[in-house]
Structure 1
């Protein structure tokens, strides 16, 4: 397993897909970095990761154990498909991924307030940050020296 150092670069974008699954490549980067002790500010099994884990019915620790064997993305995808407690059809995966890629910020006042403050720390001029994927991509970019 190649070491992923998330103190030096961000994980893959939440928009990157593996086997049509959104979130999965980013979660695998965070998992590998956590195993290596190089996760920095990133957290494996965060609420975003849990969307994926709940969708397929995979336990976070079981997945982490499998990743720790050194398997690559393709092998992990095969393991997930073989061990998912909630097997999904390709159309379900595509719809689920599209929903999460385009979903807006959660609408409860506390969460919305947190996002508004967090986005304000990254940029005061960008008006195109509308959803979770937009926010995460911007946060990753700015966190590693990019200008919003």
Structure 2
């Protein structure tokens, strides 16, 4: 179940598993790290930590489970059983929508994103506003796409 993130990006943070945004991307990065093929991507980064905190999942326990070679469905079942914070479908949907629409909330983050977009040739791109917009853009241009 490993993925080579030196050859292609992880799934978009918008892709959902069990209603959770971020989770499929987190699993891709985790599996790639286990395989030593994570490239520039980092498992348990601040965005991953938002999911881990919301569910109460220990990142090392999740990594150990992923190392067994489980697919997404089995990993989700494990998460449902293991999560310290049991969430309703409503809570998951609300959290996922909030995360999907989250924007950089401090000047340092906004400046960083603006600089990265300009560096990639996208200075005229005024449609990149959320963290997820930025990650999708960054993944695209990192693998040869044009800004």
1:60 matched to which residue of 2?
59
- In 2, distance between residues paired with 1:137 and 1:105? 15
Alignment map for 1:1-148 (pairs within 5 Å): 2-106=1-105, 108-122=106-120, 123-148=122-147
**What RMSD, in angstroms, separates the aligned Cα atoms of the two structures?**
0.8
Query: What's the TM-score, normalizing by structure 2?
Result: 0.97
| Larger deviation, residues 118-127 vs 33-42 | 118-127
1:87 is paired with a residue whose SS is coil
Q: Which runs of 5+ in 1 are unaligned?
A: none
Question: Are 2:13 and 2:135, in contact at CA under 8 Å, matched by a contact in 1?
Answer: yes
- 1:59: how far off? 0.5
- In 1, distance between residues paired with 2:15 and 2:53? 19
Aligned residue pairs, count: 146
Q: Which runs of 5+ in 2 are unaligned?
A: none
- In 2, distance between residues paired with 1:72 and 1:31? 12
Give 4+ residue runs of structure 1 displaced > 6 Å after superposition: none
- In 2, distance between residues paired with 1:121 and 1:86? 40
